[in-house]
Structure 1
Amino acid sequence: MRTVIFDLDGTLADTSGDLLAAANHCFRQMGHGDVLEPGRDAPIALRGGRMMLTRGLERIGVYAVETVDAYYPVLLEAYAEAIDHHTQFYPGAMQAVEALKAAGYGVGICTNKPEALADLLLQRLGVRKVFDSLVGADTLPVRKPDPEPLREAARRAGGDPALCVLIGDSDTDRNTARAAGVPSVLVTFGPSGAEMAALEPEALLHHFDDLPGLIPNLIGQVV
């Protein structure tokens, strides 16, 4: 089977609002108030919890790796408690997934979000059963940009890892696909969309309506 594997944050859904809220929960506990701003800091949010804590502490001039380490579990707990308050799928995302499944493709998710949190989010959004596989940051001993999580997501979706394509929104996704020798499609509608063309993926995606038409010409390419 041929498979289409998706990144989650910034690709299928804009999760930045809930991520930033969890980080600001930590900063308030530290006594700094809300340090990160919705919208403006969305690109930082989609780089993960440790990056949000790091950039926020740097912004107010009190960065210490010990503080990041101490508050990362606090951030994860706060995020789990309010994981779906602001998160929304990008327009046409789930319709494109359903169209790919109807066309006979396996679909899965390969994310650097911890697997339990990714699973919780998809459950809360009511779409977990739509995806044939889910591989998170801690599913395997390695994470993206190592190619093995992508290959495992393809395998768990019932597919051949050499016959997949990765849909993502970052240099991490581009490098993961390149390391696996398969094509990547990078979305231009996420917070870092303007930077995607410079990464030279096999295709750019401006709207999910266009995705089903792109896939047949990409899967099977050796890159």
Structure 2
Amino acid sequence: MKSVIFDLDGTLADTSGDLLAAANHCFREMGHGDVLQHGDDAGVALRGGRFMLTAGLKRVGAYDVDTVDRYYPVLLAAYGEAIAEHTTLYPGAMEAVEQLKTLGFAVGVCTNKPEGLARQLLTELDVLEAFGALVGADTLPVRKPDPAPLVETVRRLRCDPRQCLLVGDSDTDRNTARAAGVPSVLVTFGPSGEDMAALEPEALLEDYAALPKVVQALLGPMSI
């Protein structure tokens, strides 16, 4: 069976608003106020918690690695308390997921968000049950761009890791797919969309409505 694996942040959902709110909670505790701005810093948010803390602290001239390490758990706790207040699924994302399943493809999520938070978010968005497997940043000892999380997601779907592709929004996803020897499809509607073409994925995706045809072109149709 062939499978389509999705990244979460910036691919299935725009999570930037809630991530930025969690980071600013930390910066306020430090006495810096709201350092990161909604909209302008969406791309920063989608690079993860440590990246947000690092970027914000450098912006105010207060960066040191110990502060990042100390506040990372604070950020995760704040994020978990308000994980879906501003987060929205991208238009057509779940319709495409369901169409892929109808065509016979298995679907899973492979994210660098901690697994517990990813599971919580997908549950609050009421879409967890749509996916047959979920692997997060801490599910294995390694995370993307190491190919092991992608391979493990496919394994949990009981599919062939040579017959999958990864839908993502970053160089991390492109490099993960390349390391696994499978195609990548990068979305262009996220904050860093204009940079995706330079990564030379097997396909670019401007609209989720096109995804089923893109998948079939890259993996071939399923016989069901």
Q: Normalising by the residue count of structure 1, what TM-score does the alignment of the two structures yield?
A: 0.98
1:29-63 superposed Cα distances (whole Å, 9 cap, x missing partner) = 11111000011001110010000000000000010
State the AA in 2 paired with 1:157: L
The reply to whether residue 75 of structure 1 matches residue 81 of structure 2 is no
Quick check: 1:12 aligned with 2:12? yes
Query: Per-residue displacement from partner, 1:11-30 (whole Å, max 9, x unpaired)?
Result: 00000000000000000111
1:219 deviates by 1.9
Aligned partner of 2:82: which letter? A
1:29 correspondence with 2:58 = no
Q: Tell me whether 1:87 sits opposite 2:58 in the alignment.
A: no
Residue by residue over 1:177-217, the C-alpha shift from the partner in whole angstroms, topping out at 9 and shown as x without a partner, is 00000000000000000000000000000000000111112
CA distance in 2, matches of 1:115, 1:100: 24
Gaps (5+ residues) in structure 1? none
Partner Cα distance (2:20, 2:63) in 1? 17
- Rounded Cα–Cα distance in structure 2 between residues aligned with 1:219 and 1:108: 16
Alpha-carbon separation, structure 2, partners of 1:140 and 1:171: 20
| Equivalent runs, 1:42-191 vs 2, <5 Å | 42-191=42-191
State how far apart, in whole Å, the 2-side matches of 1:147 and 1:33 are: 38
**Aligned equivalents of 1:217 and 1:153: distance in 2?**
22
Consecutive unaligned residues of structure 2, counting only runs of 5 or more, are none
Q: Distance in 1 between matches of 2:11 and 2:103?
A: 21
Identity %: 71
Structure 1 residue 158: Cα displacement: 2.2
Output the CA distance in 1 between the equivalents of 2:71 and 2:145: 25
Counterpart CA distance in 1 for 2:83 and 2:9 is 12
Structure 2 equivalent of residue 206 of structure 1: 206
Distance in 2 between the 1:172 and 1:73 partners?
A: 23
TM value normalised by structure 2: 0.97
Tell me the distance in 2 between the aligned counterparts of 1:3 and 1:166. Answer: 9
SS of residue in 2 equivalent to 1:218: helix
Count how many residue pairs are aligned between Structure 1 and Structure 2.
Answer: 220
Question: What value does the CA root-mean-square deviation take over the aligned residues?
Answer: 0.7
Higher deviation after alignment, 147-156 or 182-191: 147-156
Specify the SS of the correspondent of 1:112.
coil
Cα distance in 1 for partners of 2:156, 2:130 equals 14
TM-superposition CA deviations, 1:122-155 (whole Å, max 9, x none): 0111111100000000101111001111011111
